[in-house]
Amino acid sequence: MSLIRWYRTRNLPTVWDQMEQMAREMSRLIPWQEEGEDRPFGIPVNVYETDKEVVVKAELPGVKKEDLDVNIQDNTLTIRAQTREESEVKEESYYRRELRTGSFFRAVPLPVEVKEEELKASYENGVLTVTAPKAVEKKVGRKVEIK
């Protein structure tokens, strides 16, 4: 007797298919979602270092400068932001209102020790740039010759 290969047909969506569809819909509706199970929703950032400093750039469209709060503690940079929409509409017949209001934050561990008291921040066109000078220079090792 020969074996007949069985192929699963995809007529009915499985529970996993439905969960994947729901995740796709959620990622479309929720701003600033990051991948990974241990990461919270947060602000998208780029972190890089030069010879003398560490630079963190964060995209914060629609956030006013006065609604930003930047702190550093234990070599972790914390960015908090709040968005508000305050508008008065005489005829309140909304069909859809998707402008978001709320607060969010992001804690970014820095790759090297920095001088916390010399942190500088600027905010322009929805991009927050934080620069921090490195605390200590990296010591370059040398090769030891074996005799």
The domain spans of the chain are 42-86+99-133
What pLDDT does 124 receive? 93
| Topology annotation, domain 42-86+99-133 | Immunoglobulin-like (2.60.40)
The mean pLDDT of 58-64, rounded to a whole number, is: 87
Query: Coil, strand, or helix at residue 44?
Result: coil
Query: Quick check: 105 and 43 in contact, CB under 8 A?
Result: yes
**Percentage of residues in the chain with pLDDT exceeding 90?**
24
- CA of 26: how far to CAs of 21, 32, 95, in Å? 9, 11, 20
User: Could you give the CA distance from residue 55 to residue 48 in angstroms, rounded to a whole number?
Assistant: 5
Task: Give the single-character DSSP code of 117.
Answer: G
The mean pLDDT of 94-112, rounded to a whole number, is: 77
Q: Name which residue leads in pLDDT, 33 or 13.
A: 13
Return the structure tokens found at 106: 């992001």
CA torsion sign for 35, 38, 40, 43 is: negative
Q: Name which residue leads in pLDDT, 59 or 142.
A: 59
What pLDDT does 18 receive? 81
pTM above 0.85, yes or no: no
Q: Name which residue leads in pLDDT, 90 or 43.
A: 43
